[in-house]
Amino acid sequence: MTESTPQPNSALSLPIRERRAERGAEASRGPADGATTLDSALPAGRHRARGLYVHVPFCFHKCHYCDFYSFVDREGRSGAYLEQIERDVDWTLARMDGTIDTIFVGGGTPTLLEATELQTLTAQIKRFPLAQEVEWTVEANPETIDGAKAQVLAAAGVNRVSIGAQSFDLRHLKTLERWHDPVNVARAAGFLRAAGIENFNIDLIFGIPGQTLEEWRSDLLRALEIGPRHLSCYGLTYETNTAMTKRLELGQFEACDEALEAEMFELTRETLEAAGFNHYEVSNYARPGSECQHNLIYWRNEPWWAIGPSASGFIAGHRYKVVPRLGDWLDRAKHASQPITDHEAPNAARHTSEALMVALRLTEGIDAALEQRAIELDPTRRGVFEKALTDGLLERDLRAGRLRFTKRGMLLANEVLAQLV
């Protein structure tokens, strides 16, 4: 391997699914300041945010690569969860201003809820003042979507579903400890279409131990056959404290070779661009006009509300994470608003670093104002930009006045970002 050998963006491609971006800002977190509820963290008054993220923490099985907050023991807890959601919607409505443009219900597995429970959850969300053209996404596991649930979602106004396929190869699903039958991805899409939801994303993972380039090509083609408008393709990463990482450490398998992972990244771009998809973010591809508007809010560092245990939010320059434990989240003896952790008050330098981190993920890159602000806060960044331009990793789009990664630069973006932030 030489310096010019492309390296996969293992850290940049922040695993594992498209919604991962909502936690992207955690990358450059500073120390928390001790606020313990959302009420105590936010300034008084009403706050405007276009996005809303709702976390549903239930799954029927824990996949081995997953570090999202979810657990399998749902019995008797979903009722309490839904009651608390209602109270948190009340609180948020009393503190928000304007309308919501994008909603993302993630998890966990939101579609693990029964159809009646999904009806309750969506009814609560519909209490928000929604923009006429609201984009409303719900994440789904292919095993847990049926006709009744698809109908409930469509009737509520959900107009986009993100299906976690990850792979169409049973052997690789087994490696990931992912429990679903690949044929059920198309079946889930069929239920959604029959209910009137035409817009869906398929999540895929590449770089699975033992996966070949041809097998990855086959996964991409199988996904395309189903007709998604959006694909999220992430390189497998090994998160701390996951079973996958433990198994790697125990030598039960070898991680995918970096050069092969880079080839898979290139193959993804070639295949999906040839099929008419725009590569608009490091790991995300969309048919023109079907970019995920909710994730664009994260990547453009705009504010969003967060409801549910472990959900991260960004309001009035304050970042926070709702406590990642259902029991603590439900326990409101002393306060009305959500208990939070990792609160960070506004900080211009950090905000700029975060904006750089997330905006450079987009193929549109950053505008001149952000570039200038970044340099003013840290003049050494000018040299980093200039070197990356000379090396062909960054390029200027003079007409749009933006600085962005080149195709080759996308593969080496981690190195540049590490120097910038």
Least Å distance, CB 243 to ligand SF4, is 10
Name beta bridge partners: 201. Answer: 162, 230
Q: Does 70 bind ligand SF4 (CB under 6 A)?
A: yes
Q: Is 408 helix (H, G, I), strand (E, B) or coil?
A: helix
**DSSP annotation of 71:** B
Q: Give how far Cα 323 sits from Cα of 239, 309, 334, Å.
A: 19, 6, 15
Which residue number has the CB closest to ligand SF4?
Answer: 66
- The H or E element that residue 233 is part of is strand 230-235
The correct pick among 66, 326, 359, 366 for binding ligand SF4 (CB under 6 A) is 66
Pick between residue 58 and residue 136 the one whose CB is nearest to ligand SF4: 58
Least Å distance, CB 66 to ligand SF4, is 3
- Determine if the peptide bond prior to 85 is cis (ω within 30°): no
Q: Does 64 bind ligand SF4 (CB under 6 A)?
A: no
Least Å distance, CB 338 to ligand SF4, is 20
The correct pick among 9, 37, 109, 119 for binding ligand SF4 (CB under 6 A) is 109
d(CA 86, CA 177): 34
Close Cβ partners of 76 (under 8 Å, ≥ 6 residues apart): none
> In this structure, which amino acid lies at residue 56?
V
Q: Does 262 bind ligand SF4 (CB under 6 A)?
A: no
Using the rule CB under 6 A, give the single segment among 57-65, 245-253, 271-279, 310-318 that binds ligand SF4.
57-65
Using the rule CB under 6 A, give the single segment among 63-71, 220-228, 235-243, 260-268 that binds ligand SF4.
63-71
CB burial class (10 A; 0-12, 13-18, 19+) of residue 58? buried
Which residues ranging from 77 to 96 are in contact with ligand SF4 (CB under 6 A)?
A: none
Pick between residue 66 and residue 153 the one whose CB is nearest to ligand SF4: 66
Q: Does 405 bind ligand SF4 (CB under 6 A)?
A: no
Q: Does 62 bind ligand SF4 (CB under 6 A)?
A: yes
Number of residues in contact with ligand SF4 under rule CB under 6 A: 11
The correct pick among 13, 19, 20, 68 for binding ligand SF4 (CB under 6 A) is 68
Least Å distance, CB 395 to ligand SF4, is 35
Using the rule CB under 6 A, give the single segment among 55-63, 125-133, 211-219, 395-403 that binds ligand SF4.
55-63
d(CA 125, CA 257): 44
Using the rule CB under 6 A, give the single segment among 106-114, 153-161, 194-202, 326-334 that binds ligand SF4.
106-114
Binding mask 288-327 for ligand SF4 (x = CB under 6 A): ----------------------------------------
Contacts 24+ apart (CB under 8 A), 57-60: 57/81, 57/107, 57/108, 57/308, 57/309, 57/310, 57/326, 58/107, 58/108, 58/109, 58/112, 58/113, 59/107, 59/108, 59/109, 59/112, 59/141, 60/109, 60/112, 60/141, 60/143, 60/144, 60/179
Using the rule CB under 6 A, give the single segment among 93-101, 104-112, 124-132, 293-301 that binds ligand SF4.
104-112
Which residues ranging from 156 to 185 are in contact with ligand SF4 (CB under 6 A)?
A: 164
The correct pick among 124, 141, 167, 301 for binding ligand SF4 (CB under 6 A) is 141
The correct pick among 6, 51, 107, 182 for binding ligand SF4 (CB under 6 A) is 107
Using the rule CB under 6 A, give the single segment among 47-55, 105-113, 130-138, 142-150 that binds ligand SF4.
105-113
Q: Does 63 bind ligand SF4 (CB under 6 A)?
A: yes
Q: Does 145 bind ligand SF4 (CB under 6 A)?
A: no
Which residues ranging from 31 to 50 are in contact with ligand SF4 (CB under 6 A)?
A: none
Q: Does 138 bind ligand SF4 (CB under 6 A)?
A: no
Close Cβ partners of 265 (under 8 Å, ≥ 6 residues apart): 6, 8, 9, 206, 235, 410, 411
> In this structure, which amino acid lies at residue 317?
G
Pick between residue 15 and residue 339 the one whose CB is nearest to ligand SF4: 15
Contacts 24+ apart (CB under 8 A), 309-315: 309/55, 309/57, 309/69, 310/55, 310/57, 310/68, 310/69, 311/22, 311/53, 311/54, 311/55, 312/22, 312/23, 312/25, 312/26, 312/53, 312/342, 313/38, 313/53, 314/25, 314/49, 315/42, 315/47, 315/49
Q: Does 108 bind ligand SF4 (CB under 6 A)?
A: yes
For the CA atoms of 245, 246, 252, 254, what is the dihedral angle to 10 degrees? 20
Interface positions with ligand SF4 (CB under 6 A) = 59, 62-63, 66, 68, 70, 107-109, 141, 164
